[in-house]
Amino acid sequence: MNNFKIFLLMGILSVILVLIGGAVGGNNGAALFFLISLAMNFFSYYFSDKIAIKMTGSQPVSKEEAPELYNIVGGLAKRAGLPMPRLYITPSTQPNAFATGRNPEHAAVAVTKGLLQILNRSELEGVLAHELAHIKNRDVLLGTIAATFAGAIAMIANIIKWGAIFGMGRDDNEGGGNFIGAIALAIIAPLAAMIIQMSISRSREYQADASGAQFAGSAGGLANALLKLENAARRVPMQVNPATSHLFIVNPLSGASVARLFSTHPPIEERVKRLSSMKI
């Protein structure tokens, strides 16, 4: 099922790029952006882990530098029947975490510095188990592809918007239609990408919570961690590309009022409620 979602997502986002290209440059622009979408599909599929790590500024961490982190992830991975993922630290004081990679053999888990500072062992196990559940359920590729395309679409739309404002490529005699189309897509395209992100993230977070609780052997640690992380996310800002926000266990942009309107995560209260009702 996830393979179907991946190819559907690639197709939808490719169509958005082609429409943008067509609005800006007609048939030639559409053809160019189609080739760009093919290249993005290839790179986002085979290098999804590296793309997400680069976009979040995460750095690799060794076993000597973070022995407890390696010990917890190693035990959980063995319990979940997964190979040991590569581990990274994201240089942010906001407590958060995410997983990425195209499959369990090419997976990575990143945690922020803030996460390691405020969670106890049980809570940390819950968060890491949640991220391993994303890997086990094979939905990390889906999220990373969405992040890659959403980032590219937002960037292209921004270029088009400012180009249109300053009259770049505008022809008063023949270019009016393309000008209006470019402006429309510059506004609509980022919203379309965000809607796609939202449709992916909400259901997968519930599933990862449930699977993660099973891996950890308890739902309490994750439930407590989610409450701590949500509270911290409202108080501690995180400098992160908005296109990657749906990758994290809690929305890193929840402190921004506009970001809350387009939340890619289900309500923490509902997630905690579901975890509290689990019998493990």
Give strand ranges (E) for the chain.
59-60, 86-90, 97-101, 107-112
Q: Which two tokens mark 219?
A: 């739902």
Which strands form 59-60's sheet, in the order they lie side by side?
59-60, 86-90, 107-112, 97-101
Catalytic residues: 131
The closest alpha carbon to 152, from 247, 15, 17, 27, belongs to 17
Buried b (16+ CB within 10 A) or exposed e, 211-229: bbbbbbebbbbbbbbbbbb
d(CA 36, CA 47): 16
Q: Which residues lie closer than 8 Å to 101 by C-beta, 6 or more apart?
A: 48, 49, 85, 107, 108, 135, 140, 141, 144
First to last CA, the chain: 27
Inter-residue contact 149 to 40 (CB < 8 Å): yes
Residues 66, 72, 75, 81, CA torsion sign = negative
